[in-house]
Structure 1
Amino acid sequence: MAAYVLFFSYTPQAWERMMIKPGDRAAAARAMIESAGGTLESLYFMLGDRDGFAVVHVPGNEDVAALSIAILSSGAFSHVETRALVAPQDLAGVLERAAAARGAYAPPGE
């Protein structure tokens, strides 16, 4: 399965509802991710530009795209940003592919 990080921010209305009735946000996230065929590795809240992030494993790009759309369509989030993750043991292969692709590319003017 592919690994992704989803950064998110809640709407002010969602924060207000959570203050009244917090609930188990990890369980809610896990249920949605599992419905898309994936697993939740971790969920953290944070301070700064974004309210939190989740590391998820799903079969592929279409699955994480569907998950991102489902999250945004809930109305509880003002921002969802999805990034693919590369495991350290996979980096050498990625760099080899990058070198091959770079060797085949001619920059403008060359």
Structure 2
Amino acid sequence: MSKYLFESNYVGEGIKGLMREGGTKRRDAVVEALKSAGGSLECFYYAFGETDVVGVFDIPDQANAAALSLLINSTGSVSLRLKPLMTPEDLDEAAKKTPSYRAPGQ
């Protein structure tokens, strides 16, 4: 399973829908959407300021995460951004790798 941090903002009719349905029903909709893609919700929080909702979910792979993101963003009611998360062990593995790279101008 892959873990993602998500940040979203309600847009236009999405704000009206949130006000009509309330926060728990929108969270339940996220849980159901994740289940349909083989995922699960770890945490979900409302915020205010630049971001309306933040949370973490698990999903089987990048393709399912991308499909869910495309579907949600295509509604025009929510702007969703995903950030893949790594464990400290994942970073340890990355640090052991030795890719080749030339910096600009060198």
**For residue 106 of structure 1, what is the amino acid of its counterpart?**
R
Deviation, 1:13, is 2.4
Q: TM-score of the superposition, structure 2-length normalised? A: 0.86
- Which deviates further from its counterpart, 13-22 or 33-42? 13-22
Larger radius of gyration: 1
Which of 82, 101, 104 is matched with 1:105 structurally?
A: 101
Deviation, 1:62, is 0.6
What is the alpha-carbon distance in structure 2 between the residues aligned to residue 105 and residue 17 of structure 1? 48
Residue of structure 1 equivalent to 2:68: 67
What is the alpha-carbon distance in structure 1 between the residues aligned to residue 41 and residue 49 of structure 2? 23
- The Cα RMSD (Å) is 1.6
What is the alpha-carbon distance in structure 2 between the residues aligned to residue 109 and residue 17 of structure 1? 52
**For residue 71 of structure 1, what is the amino acid of its counterpart?**
I
- Which deviates further from its counterpart, 60-69 or 23-32? 23-32
- For residues 14-93 of structure 1, the aligned pairs below 5 Å read 14-22=14-22, 24-77=25-78, 79-93=79-93
**For residue 103 of structure 2, what is the amino acid of its counterpart?**
P
Q: Is the 8 A contact 2:18 2:26 kept in 1?
A: no
What is the alpha-carbon distance in structure 2 between the residues aligned to residue 21 and residue 80 of structure 1? 19
**For residue 61 of structure 1, what is the amino acid of its counterpart?**
Q
Q: Which runs of 5+ in 2 are unaligned?
A: none
Aligned residues: 105
Q: Show structure 1 runs of 4+ deviating over 3 A.
A: none
SS of the residue corresponding to residue 41 of structure 1 reads: strand
Q: Provide, for residues 55-96 of structure 1, a one-character-per-residue CA deviation record: whole Å limited to 9, x for no partner.
A: 11111111100010111123321x211110011232211222
Deviation, 1:12, is 3.4
**For residue 107 of structure 1, what is the amino acid of its counterpart?**
A
- Same amino acid, percent of matched pairs: 30
